[in-house]
């Protein structure tokens, strides 16, 4: 690629799967990506575009004229076209839509009218829906005759005259059933219907829980308007589940293809909030400056108490956030989980307190100092365990995403209480 040996690049790329070509793009930097796109122009089919990382795709799309983007969008399924266009800014989006065929444009505009990250954006309008009066034979003939139907589908939806879904038929049942049997004898009547405005995280949990391959999306009147298939959901599950670690650390969406200025802004915002809480914790230490000046060893040991509290709090927090995200922690078992974390914190606090207490006593030949740090360790572990679960549960009650904002509260608590309990106890027992 560096030598601009276009033919050789083309030959190398030609045999690859679209998903692999998309990956290849992500490995290069921005300048090289444009060169590569130029070299393999006619291999850049809609499948490759659909597989690209959001940021990489957005940058490529912005470099292309609106009519080319419109042409690509028309080749894609509605859901992929929406994913591509929703990232563009308003003006570019309008320019592209203006270049599209009226029918495709209407489908995309209607999808864009649903909130971001909702089922309405995810769904594809291409589906097979038939009436229950059909027999298996009718259905097979219908499928063979209608060439315009989608090529890949896994279930057929059965609808009533109002176009409301009343059942689904897995293709394997259809294949195994004699031609003369009516579909209403084959179809499954209980199905998971997805309202178009349902959040994608909730959709993903449904797919996972009920092991769905595809599901009908309905409008508020209960009419079938689209389907969501599991291959689209797999990406969502990956994203939503992996997001927690990034959100807990304040790393924004953590995408390594995000423009660097956006990354700096996202991370810096979080760091500045943490700076404020660090200063709060420091002001607690400030209260004890006199004691520290008299007995500087306190300053040496105090970060151990606060740091260990922070670690224990982070553990509890990670578990609680995950349990809330997967609907495992709900109102009915919150009290049990709080008690569970309390017992764990007590056990860990005593074990760590004993270890550091005896260690301090032996190293500095000061049993009183050992007792103080051991007690502070127990107290701070309890603070960590309780805050680690109470903060995310409370935030969740107020509909705030616990992964985004819990960590600040928990580390503020463990830092300030760590310093306060250790230095306070030291002063009370007369160590300084």
Cα–Cα distance for residue pair 86/118, rounded to 1 Å: 13
Beta bridge partners of 156: 169
Between 17 and 41, whose beta carbon lies closer to its own copies?
A: 17
Q: Is 195 helix (H, G, I), strand (E, B) or coil?
A: strand
Q: Is 37 helix (H, G, I), strand (E, B) or coil?
A: helix
First-to-last C-alpha distance (Å) of the chain: 69
CB of 355 to its own copies, least distance (A): 7
Between 70 and 393, whose beta carbon lies closer to its own copies?
A: 393
Between 40 and 325, whose beta carbon lies closer to its own copies?
A: 325
CB of 415 to its own copies, least distance (A): 7
CB of 117 to its own copies, least distance (A): 17
Cα–Cα distance for residue pair 79/217, rounded to 1 Å: 13
Between 106 and 280, whose beta carbon lies closer to its own copies?
A: 280
CB of 344 to its own copies, least distance (A): 5
Q: What is the DSSP letter of 115?
A: P
Q: How deeply is 212 buried, as exposed, middle or buried, from its count of CB atoms within 10 A (0-12, 13-18, 19+)?
A: buried
DSSP letters spanning 73-90: HHHS-HHHHHHHHHTS-H
Between 256 and 428, whose beta carbon lies closer to its own copies?
A: 256
Q: Specify the residue for token string 């985004």.
A: 404
CB of 372 to its own copies, least distance (A): 15
Between 225 and 344, whose beta carbon lies closer to its own copies?
A: 344
Between 106 and 271, whose beta carbon lies closer to its own copies?
A: 271
CB of 374 to its own copies, least distance (A): 12
CB of 300 to its own copies, least distance (A): 5
Q: 102-112 and 66-75 are packed helices; what angle lies between their axes, rounded to 10 degrees?
A: 80
Q: How many CA atoms lie within 13 A of 280 on its CB side?
A: 16
Beta bridge partners of 229: 214
193-195/129-131 β-pairing: unpaired
CB of 95 to its own copies, least distance (A): 30
Q: For residue 57, which of 71, 44, 67 has the smallest C-alpha distance?
A: 44
Between 246 and 431, whose beta carbon lies closer to its own copies?
A: 246
Residues 6+ apart with CB under 8 A from 387: 313, 316, 409, 410, 413, 414
């Amino acid at each position: 690629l560096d030598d601009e040996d276009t033919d050789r690049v083309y030959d190398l790329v030609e045999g690859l799967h679209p998903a692999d070509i998309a990956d290849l793009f992500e490995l290069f930097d921005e300048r090289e990506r444009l060169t590569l796109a130029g070299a393999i122009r006619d291999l850049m089919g809609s499948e490759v575009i659909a597989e690209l990382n959001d940021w990489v795709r957005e940058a490529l799309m912005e470099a292309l004229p609106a009519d080319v983007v419109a042409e690509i969008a028309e080749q894609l399924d509605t859901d992929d076209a929406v994913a591509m266009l929703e990232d563009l800014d308003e003006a570019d989006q309008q320019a592209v839509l203006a270049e599209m065929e009226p029918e495709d444009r209407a489908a995309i505009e209607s999808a864009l009218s649903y909130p971001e990250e909702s089922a309405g954006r995810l769904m594809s309008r291409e589906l097979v829906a038939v009436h229950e009066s059909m027999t298996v034979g009718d259905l097979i003939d219908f499928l063979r005759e209608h060439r315009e139907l989608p090529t890949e589908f896994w279930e057929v939806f059965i609808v009533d005259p109002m176009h409301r879904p009343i059942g689904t038929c897995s293709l394997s049942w259809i294949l195994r059933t004699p031609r003369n049997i009516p579909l209403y004898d084959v179809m499954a009547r209980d199905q998971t219907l997805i309202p178009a405005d349902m959040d994608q995280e909730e959709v993903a949990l449904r797919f996972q829980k009920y092991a769905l391959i595809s599901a009908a999306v309905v409008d508020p009147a209960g009419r079938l308007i689209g389907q969501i298939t599991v291959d689209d959901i797999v990406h969502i599950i990956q994203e939503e589940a992996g997001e927690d670690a990034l959100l807990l650390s304040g790393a924004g969406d953590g995408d390594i293809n995000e423009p660097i200025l956006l990354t700096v802004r996202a991370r810096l915002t979080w760091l500045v909030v943490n700076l404020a809480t660090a200063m709060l914790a420091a002001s607690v230490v400030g209260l004890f400056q006199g004691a520290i000046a008299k007995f500087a060893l306190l300053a040496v040991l105090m970060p151990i108490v606060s740091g260990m509290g922070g670690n224990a709090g982070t553990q509890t927090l990670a578990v609680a956030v995950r349990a809330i995200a997967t609907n495992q922690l709900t109102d009915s078992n919150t009290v049990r989980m709080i008690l569970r974390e309390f017992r764990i914190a007590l056990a860990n606090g005593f074990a760590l307190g004993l270890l550091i207490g005896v260690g301090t006593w032996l190293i500095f030949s000061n049993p009183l100092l050992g007792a103080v740090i051991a007690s502070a360790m127990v107290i701070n572990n309890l603070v960590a365990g309780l805050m680690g679960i109470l903060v995310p549960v409370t935030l969740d009650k107020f509909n705030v995403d616990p992964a985004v904002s819990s960590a600040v509260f928990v580390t503020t608590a463990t830092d300030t209480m760590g310093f306060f309990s250790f230095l306070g106890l030291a002063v009370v027992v007369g160590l300084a």
